[in-house]
Amino acid sequence: MKTDKTSAQQSKKKQLILDAAQELFFKYGVRRVTVEEICKTAGVSKMTCYKYFTDKWDIARTMLDSLVNYGIAAFQDMMHEDGPFAAKVEKMLLQTMTQIHAVGPALLDDMVREDSPLHSYFLEMQKKTRKLSVDFFILAQQQGHIHPDLKMPVLLFMFDHLCDLVNHPDFIQLMPDIQDRASELAALLFYGFARKP
């Protein structure tokens, strides 16, 4: 039976691995980072790493889970704040841009590429956050903040196909940097449907 001290030490080692992986993944993406590099940065052995994770993609999914859950909590807090719709949209856009820039282009590319082990995970993350956004937009439309002629199925379609849009060859040619493409799409979604104040 594990003691509380042993559990705390194991939890600390697992967190060291996740912190090291986040630092490396944000900089280089998952493809370019090895488990050895993560272990060296974390100051743990490979054996310790494999106690918690099956491979670097498992580490990436666990790390991203934490980020997504943090983002969802922040979004829910923002939705329930008092204040004008425009200010909430600003906060949503700022949060989205901050996350896009923090993740970095290499990791973002690892998530949206169809041949990536993180692609299906990325699609699941989109579904997880989709309902929150839809509820927010429906309420905003009912309150008169979003143009009444906008059809929610169109907005849902846009959310469902963001990944396709980010990776569309014509869009890549127009805007080669993935962060720029993601930022433009986020701005379009958050501002493109709002009524003028």
- Residue range 142-194, pLDDT digits in tens: 888 777 887 878 777 776 676 577 778 898 899 888 777 877 776 776 666 55
| CA torsion angle 68 19 162 166 (round to 10) | 170
- What is the dihedral sign for C-alpha 30, 33, 34, 38? negative
- Which pLDDT score, from 0 to 100, does residue 159 have? 66
H-assigned helices in 80-116? 85-112
- Which pLDDT score, from 0 to 100, does residue 68 have? 86
168 vs 165: CA distance, rounded Å: 5
- Which pLDDT score, from 0 to 100, does residue 160 have? 66
Q: What percent of the chain clears pLDDT 70, i.e. is strictly above it?
A: 84
- Which pLDDT score, from 0 to 100, does residue 4 have? 61
The structure tokens listed for 149 are 């002629």
- Which pLDDT score, from 0 to 100, does residue 96 have? 72
- Which pLDDT score, from 0 to 100, does residue 97 have? 67
Identify residue 166 by its one-letter amino acid code: V
Contact partners, residue 30, CB within 8 Å, separation at least 6: 56, 57, 60, 107, 110, 116, 117, 118
17 belongs to a structural domain: no
34 belongs to a structural domain: no
The structure tokens listed for 185 are 């799409």
67 belongs to a structural domain: yes
Could you say which residues of the chain have pLDDT below 50? 1, 197
80 vs 153: CA distance, rounded Å: 24
31 belongs to a structural domain: no
Is residue 191 left, alpha or beta, with left meaning phi > 0 and alpha meaning psi from -120 to 50?
alpha
Domain that holds residue 136: 57-191
149 belongs to a structural domain: yes
Count of domains forming the chain: 1
Enter the pTM of the model: 0.72
DSSP 116-182: STTHHHHHHHHHHHHHHHHHHHHHHHHTTSB-TT--HHHHHHHHHTHHHHHT-HHHHHH---HHHHH
- CATH code: domain of residue 140: 1.10.357
44 belongs to a structural domain: no
164 belongs to a structural domain: yes
11 belongs to a structural domain: no
